[in-house]
Amino acid sequence: MGKYIEDAKELLTYVGGRTNISAVTHCMTRMRFVLADPAKAEVDNIEKMGIVKGTFTQAGQFQVIIGNEVSDFYDDFIAVSGIEGVDKAAVKKAAKANQNVLQRLVGTLAEIFTPLLPAIICGGLILGFRNVIDSIYMFDNGTKTLVQISQFWNGVDSFLWLIGEAVFHIGIPLGICWSVMKKMGGTEILGIVLGITLTSSQLLNAYAVASTPASKIPVWNFGFIKVNMIGYQAQVIPAMLAAFTLVYLERFFKKITPKVVSMIVVPFCSLLLAVMMAHFVLGPIGWKIGSAISAVIYAGITGPVKVLFGAIFGTFYAPLVITGLHHMSNAIDLQLVADFKGTGLWPMIALSNIAQGSAVVGMAILQKKNAKAQEVNMPSAISCYLGVTEPAMFGVNLKYRFPFVCGMIGSGLAGMLCTLTNTTANGIGVGGLPGILSIKPQYWGSFALCMAVAIVVPIVLVLILGKKRLTESEKGLVADIDDVKKEEEFTVSSKQVDVCGCVEGNVIPLKDVHDKVFSEGLMGEGVAIVPDGEEIKAPCDAKVQVMMEETGHAVGLKLENGAELLIHIGLDTVYMNGEGFENLVRVGDVVKKGTPLIKFSKDKIKAANHEDTVMCIITDKGLAKDTELHTGMKADLNTPIITMK
């Protein structure tokens, strides 16, 4: 049981109970509530609680000041209230207020795919390896693959497909349905079941649709209507549409169904209707979209504007992969091979894979000191170069956005050159670097030139843009190791501690700050700084005790006299969700005076309509018996603004 369970229960009662809480989050010092009916909050009783240092309402939010213990208190509060996850949604909603529609869409897509990354990366490496051993004709004068000449490798290839099929054919639709339900607060097991119905063995495999005559496609015959029994293996759009349909159906039935029968009615009606919608409406729509795209591609690759088409297709093939509709290109490739003894479409697909992999290589170069990022970068680049792009795109390029665009540009230029030189492949092969072995020998030179473009352009563009767009922490660059001591070296004594200016600027009294929590001293005594600079530095030797890692707007330090110092950047900057802030140290680091702690952007704080005043608050005096505050001067690292004796 948590330390603050009883206090949390008491606060839950005084704010009007769970049903009165629309959203709750916390920042460095306070619980922040959005109440359905603010009048139900018993303010007097809340302020009498021992854990509470004060309350106030601002910008439609009821704020309860807890102090440095707010993080632990919050954990206990959501445990007793049963509203876990509401805080994250509230924070993300505030962050999305400053994003355009495209950024929100890509952000949502990344959130859905992030939990799937371990499986996607594993599957990508497996399929890439299988491409090498079963698709490259490197033996018997280029007529046989390794799998064809070796029973051992044939067995390995067959066994590895067990995992590859599980990840890509079944795992992606199923995982998407589960992830969407989890993100949207739905019942996750219903999402899993929905995903299974999209990939059931009872259905015709999605990969076999293009080669199966319409008369041979199995159907559900209801007498008055027939519905094709088609699976959606590796399909993204049908799975997402089905999952979001399930989410809103479940919400609808929960709202109108009496609780006494909710357990029976809600899952039955929600899942049944969602599966019907997926197979009767959403799936066919997805296939029609795919068919339309295929028709456009066929006309482009064989028409008079093929060079322009090469540029367009090369640029936008990667976004097509995201939708899962890229599988429709297989039908066009097969038709081209049948009609013209070769395909000019497939080489551009291979080049797109190479370009996206090269964008990841650029990121790997930029993030060479970020060990955590490299765990994703390296295997993603390898699998991409071997023909499987999902790990690279979802794990790296879409996450940072600009590498994805850089890959698209490189692919577009390579695609234009590919069609300009009439580069043609014998058939569908490995969609990566080994793809050159599937190109007709007379076009090896032109394809090699196209590959060079697809490799060099994305890497160069990523390196140029990444230097400005990546933060120091994303590059793996943190504070100088000489400025960070080991935690066990930090000791506490009763000596005098001088707290100097943590940022350049004018020092003002706390009473002049436009926030009651600080101006009325509810958090403790201290001073404020109207900053001229944009970097928070350690104002004295200290240990990093608290760091708001997601938002970056505040840091808590433990000083050498046992006192606790809160440095809070701006007012209500917690809602910027880290935009404009960069943490340079971690919790547990022991730093010297002058060590950079946080970088922040005054322009971005202003653009978000917040004040950038920096508060320096003594939340606990430790062993100090007296505190002197110094204001009306310029702050710097050599002049104390707080003296503790």
Which active-site residues does the annotation give? 27
Cα separation, 308 vs 305, in Å, equals 5
Question: Phi/psi class of residue 492: alpha, beta or left (left: φ > 0; alpha: ψ in -120 to 50)?
Answer: beta
DSSP code for 218: -
For residue 106 the two structure tokens come to: 């890509």
Cα separation, 453 vs 556, in Å, equals 49
Please say whether the beta carbons of 359 and 389 come within 8 A: no
Residues 246, 251, 255, 260, CA torsion sign: positive
For residue 205 the two structure tokens come to: 């495999």
Cα separation, 134 vs 631, in Å, equals 74
Please say whether the beta carbons of 499 and 540 come within 8 A: yes
SS3 343: strand
Cα separation, 132 vs 381, in Å, equals 15
Nearest 5°: phi and psi at 631?
-130, 180
Residues in the chain: 645
For residue 67 the two structure tokens come to: 């102090």
Closest CA to 308 of 183, 461, 412, 429: 412
Cβ neighbors of 59 (< 8 A, separation 6 or more) are 572
Please say whether the beta carbons of 380 and 393 come within 8 A: no
The two beta strands, 525-531 and 614-620, are antiparallel
Cα separation, 415 vs 567, in Å, equals 53
Please say whether the beta carbons of 562 and 622 come within 8 A: yes
Residue type, 111: E
| Unique residue bearing structure tokens 């936008």 | 316
| Residue 103 Cα distances to 96, 100, 396, 408, 447, angstroms | 8, 5, 16, 17, 35
* 603 burial level (CB within 10 Å; 0-12, 13-18, 19+): exposed
Q: What residues form DSSP beta bridges with 556?
A: 546, 566
Q: What residues form DSSP beta bridges with 139?
A: 144
Closest CA to 391 of 34, 609, 125, 44: 125
Q: How many CA atoms lie within 13 A of 60 on its CB side?
A: 5
Cβ neighbors of 455 (< 8 A, separation 6 or more) are 354, 355, 358, 410
For residue 271 the two structure tokens come to: 């899942």
Cα separation, 427 vs 423, in Å, equals 12
Please say whether the beta carbons of 540 and 586 come within 8 A: no
- Range list of H helices, 438-568: 444-469, 472-475, 516-519
